[in-house]
């Protein structure tokens, strides 16, 4: 476990990524082709900004990304990045339409397994609610989730709203971690 952590941690440092999480999104894009040039992307829980760095490469100069986090994010020099410091439960995205919504949000873990799983599920449920209002028809949604017992219920709901729903555990995610990613392609109205 620590070897793997060290490997991706060091690799991120060497390659100038702000987080080792960057590699998870690279794997997701390689397998599922979530982003295309020119996309407008919403990144929920974006700090410190590793996913933003990666998304910028996928969407190119004509794309745009908006990120939100409770924490401060070191500013980006790129003009097509907008960062909001705030809580997703309080921010209003209603007037916007995104091509892709991604969420790497995780609750602060309490050590009480069921409580942590449930809070992860709640974050996903809310991210899905944002997607229902603000994701374009045929848009894509990627969310991190801890696989608790609520997971299957949520997956069932997502299957009714997207053409393709897959569960993916990137190699760059620690094998000891309960996190997994749910990749939803092609929102149907």
Active site residues: 144
Cβ at position 156, least distance to ligand SAM in Å: 24
Cβ at position 37, least distance to ligand SAM in Å: 21
If one asks whether residue 100 binds ligand SAM (CB under 6 A), the answer comes out as: no
Cβ at position 22, least distance to ligand SAM in Å: 6
- Nearest 5 degrees, angle CA 104-CA 20-CA 154? 25
Q: How far apart are CA 54 and CA 86, in angstroms?
A: 22
Token pair for residue 174?
Answer: 């620690």
If one asks whether residue 45 binds ligand SAM (CB under 6 A), the answer comes out as: yes
Q: Which residues contact 12 (CB under 8 A, 6 or more apart)?
A: 18, 19, 20, 22, 23, 50
**32-40, 42-50, 133-141, 168-176 -> range binding ligand SAM (CB under 6 A):** 42-50
Cβ contact 54:21 at 8 Å: no
If one asks whether residue 47 binds ligand SAM (CB under 6 A), the answer comes out as: yes
If one asks whether residue 18 binds ligand SAM (CB under 6 A), the answer comes out as: yes
Token pair for residue 65?
Answer: 């990304």
Token pair for residue 38?
Answer: 């020119």
If one asks whether residue 139 binds ligand SAM (CB under 6 A), the answer comes out as: no
Question: 71 or 189: whose CB is closer to ligand SAM?
Answer: 71
Question: 87 or 96: whose CB is closer to ligand SAM?
Answer: 87
If one asks whether residue 22 binds ligand SAM (CB under 6 A), the answer comes out as: yes
Q: How far apart are CA 19 and CA 22, in angstroms?
A: 6
Cβ contact 57:108 at 8 Å: no
If one asks whether residue 146 binds ligand SAM (CB under 6 A), the answer comes out as: no
Binders of ligand SAM in range 76-95 (CB under 6 A) = 87-89
Find the binder of ligand SAM among 11, 29, 48, 125 (CB under 6 A): 48
Q: Which residues contact 30 (CB under 8 A, 6 or more apart)?
A: none
Q: Which residues contact 22 (CB under 8 A, 6 or more apart)?
A: 12, 50, 51, 53, 54
Positions that interact with ligand SAM (CB under 6 A): 18-19, 21-22, 45-51, 68-71, 87-89, 104-106
């Amino acid at each position: 476990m620590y070897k793997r952590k060290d490997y991706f941690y060091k690799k991120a440092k060497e390659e100038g990524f702000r987080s080792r999480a960057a590699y998870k999104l690279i794997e997701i894009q390689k397998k599922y082709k979530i982003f295309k040039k020119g996309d407008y992307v919403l990144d929920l829980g974006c700090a410190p900004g590793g996913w933003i760095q990666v998304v910028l490469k996928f969407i190119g100069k004509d794309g745009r990304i908006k990120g939100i986090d409770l924490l401060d994010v070191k500013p980006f020099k790129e003009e097509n990045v907008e960062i909001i410091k705030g809580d997703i439960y309080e921010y209003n995205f209603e007037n916007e339409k995104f091509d892709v919504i991604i969420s790497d949000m995780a609750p602060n873990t309490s050590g009480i397994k069921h409580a942590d799983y449930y809070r992860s599920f709640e974050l996903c449920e809310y991210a899905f609610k944002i997607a229902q209002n603000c994701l374009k028809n045929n848009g894509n949604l990627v969310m991190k989730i801890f696989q608790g017992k609520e997971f299957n219920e949520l997956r069932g709901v997502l299957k009714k709203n997207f053409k393709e729903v897959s569960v993916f555990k990137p190699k760059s995610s620690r094998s000891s971690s309960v996190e997994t990613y749910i990749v939803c392609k092609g929102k149907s109205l």
